[in-house]
Structure 1
């Protein structure tokens, strides 16, 4: 079955836009900056998930449950905090950029926190192994 010509054109346009947005050093329009912020958030979220899962594997069942509770609370904190921090731009053209930048930054910070916990030294009283 052949795809309708307008559908193919739309798909090609979307693919071309996505590949251009990948070069965030040249993002000039609000849409391009939003796409780059989204891309950064997606990457940071992926890194956080991988770090979380790797760290979780090292923990006892009880610690895994605690970590899950902490992570769920952290997600709620991150989302509420970023909504507040970006509220000055609410309704404006930069609102998405402000929110996604905040989310990406806090997500990167959380991944770094979990990496530090996963790599802490034996004997460290704040070390959960």
Structure 2
């Protein structure tokens, strides 16, 4: 029993080490791990950008921004579930899903960043300029 636990832990550690060199991923497990790592990085950036937007938003806008973000997350997840459904049950499905989530997350981050960098006097921008 201890040997199987040790073997499983070794595989997990080696998968993470291999994922650090994503350009050389050579099997599906490594590619899945790399895609998940890229998603985590994109999600971290999104959360930072969203946090900045929430800090800058006027009180009345914060509720709207929070609602919009929650609905966007639901839409993103549903879209990516649809996109990856063609590979249901296959070893590539986690990679396809992670890549989709990453792409949509990067797009959302760019959109939120655009709200943080509106031109002075842009009435379509819900966030005030940085001070």
TM-score by length of 2: 0.87
Question: Quick one: structure 1 residues 113 and 88, their matched pair in 2 at CA, closer, same or farther if it must change by over 3 Å?
Answer: same
Aligned to 1:94: 92
- How far is 1:13 from its partner? 4.4
Aligned to 1:126, the other structure's residue is in SS state coil
Match of 1:24 among 12, 19, 22: 22
Aligned to 1:50: 48
Match of 1:122 among 109, 113, 120: 120
TM-score by length of 1: 0.89
Q: Which runs of 5+ in 1 are unaligned?
A: none
Contact 2:46 / 2:109 at 8 angstroms: preserved in 1?
yes
- How far is 1:12 from its partner? 4.8
Residues matched between the structures, number: 126
